[in-house]
Amino acid sequence: MKDINLSEDKTDDLVSILRGLVGVVPWVGSLVAELINVTIPNQRMDRLSEYVKILSKKLSSIEEHIVKAKLRDDGFVDLFEESLYSSVRAVTQERKEHIASIVKNSITDEAADYARHKYLLFLLSELNDIEVLLLQSYTRHNDEEFHTKHENILWKPLISENLDTKVIHENYKDHMVRLGLLKPRFKKPKRGEFPEFDEKTGMFKAQGHNITTLGRVLLRHTDLDDAF
């Protein structure tokens, strides 16, 4: 599939681009046109434009007949539609890249389990960009370049004198634990010793966190799995 350029007439271009991506399937164009004209404010058009451009590049390596075939599958159409809505809410290019990667990987997934990919899209929507970076950091222990580049996000909040900053940073991890993406790591007490309790929570005191299998799956399907 060829890369597609956007011109100034964004509404017409978006419909034609999406038709170009999926072939001549009339209701797809209607779906996008309705999304643009009814649901999306004008100031968010740029986000959808950028997402479509990113998606077209990611799909350029896939045979067009494969993409056309997927558009006959209601499960994929549901996932595709959800990705459009998610892209409208995506502020950063990185987030649009992540969304497009989930859609692209759903096409190349032989199992074609679109409910699973839609759930991954949901998990991604529950995370902010800082949390995505934090999740990545659990697979990049030896990646000095990554940790140096994102030092202010990954480490500075932990040594900050601002209590609010520390509390919010820790809550990011608690949030990912609730989503099943991280799990607390506990120190095994020695024989005859009692586990250490956290005075704030009344629970066993965690020594840190580890990424879960679900966390790794999310990174893999968003193409953020370079470290494993």
Query: Mean pLDDT across the stretch 181-198?
Result: 69
What pairs with residue 206 in β-bridges?
186
Determine the pLDDT at residue 7. Answer: 42
Comparing 219 with 15, the larger pLDDT belongs to 219
- How far from 97 is each of 48, 108, 112, 157, 195, CA to CA, in Å? 12, 17, 21, 26, 43
CB 221 within 8 A of CB 120: yes
pLDDT for the residue numbered 179? 97
Residue 214 burial class via C-beta count within 10 angstroms: exposed 0-12, middle 13-18, buried 19 and up: middle
Asked whether the beta carbons of 76 and 70 are under 8 A apart, the reply is yes
Render pLDDT for 35-62 as a digit per residue (tens, 0 to 9).
Answer: 555 555 555 677 877 888 888 888 888 8
The radius of gyration computed from the CA coordinates of the chain, to the nearest angstrom, equals 21
Q: In terms of pTM, does the model score above 0.85? A: no
pLDDT digits (tens, 9 = 90+) for 55-113: 888 888 888 788 877 877 888 888 988 998 898 889 899 999 999 999 999 988 877 78
Q: What is the mean pLDDT of the chain?
A: 77
Lowest-confidence segment of 143-147, 164-168, 169-173 by average pLDDT: 164-168
Which pLDDT score is estimated for 205?
61
